[in-house]
Amino acid sequence: MKHDLFFFFDKYIRVEADATVQPNGLLRLTDQKPNTIGTTFYRKAVRLLESHRNASVRSFNTCIVFAINPTSSKEGGYGFTFTLSTIPDIQDVSITNENPRNHVFAVDFDTVQGFEDGYHRMGNHVGVNFNSLQSDFEGPRIYCMTETQN
């Protein structure tokens, strides 16, 4: 049985700004124009705690397959961020003011060092962020083309 997750969950997915769902079901966050942004939200709450009394965190996994196509060989795109947040429809992680009570977790996939933002120490990296635009942990991105590569 084939599951097309976009159409299976379509009532929970909302796209905004330049984001679109292509006829083949793929999500496109931006197009090839400069200075564009696209956002997509999964509107149904995902419970990560077993209960309010039992604060043990549930385990989950996800798989994201993506491509970032630069407009020239000299520039990259800025990338994208996978975010978990208690703030509905969060547009900008900076609104959390680095307050740990805001509960924002993000994994960012950047292709260039931030332009005058001071938040990223390296370009072309994967970062883990807690309640901030600043990566708490970051490392260079790597490619794994086959299952035998480390």
My answer on whether 71 and 111 are in the same domain is yes
- Rounded to 5°, the CA angle 101-80-94 comes to 35
**pTM: predicted TM-score of the whole model, two decimal places:** 0.71
For every residue of 36-59, DSSP letters joined together read: --EEEEE-S----BS-SSS-PBPP
My answer on whether 56 and 114 are in the same domain is yes
What is the pLDDT at residue 95?
61
H or E segment to which residue 140 belongs: strand 137-140
My answer on whether 14 and 76 are in the same domain is no
Instruction: Read off the pLDDT band of 137 (50, 70, 90).
Output: confident
My answer on whether 36 and 50 are in the same domain is no
My answer on whether 56 and 108 are in the same domain is yes
Q: Which 8-state DSSP code applies to residue 83?
A: E
My answer on whether 11 and 84 are in the same domain is no
Per-residue pLDDT, averaged over 116-145, amounts to 75
Buried b (16+ CB within 10 A) or exposed e, 3-16: eeeeeeeeeebeee
My answer on whether 49 and 36 are in the same domain is no
Q: What pLDDT digit, counting tens, does each position of 74-93 carry?
A: 655 678 888 888 776 666 65
My answer on whether 33 and 56 are in the same domain is no
My answer on whether 109 and 68 are in the same domain is yes
My answer on whether 146 and 75 are in the same domain is yes
What is the pLDDT at residue 83?
84
My answer on whether 126 and 100 are in the same domain is yes
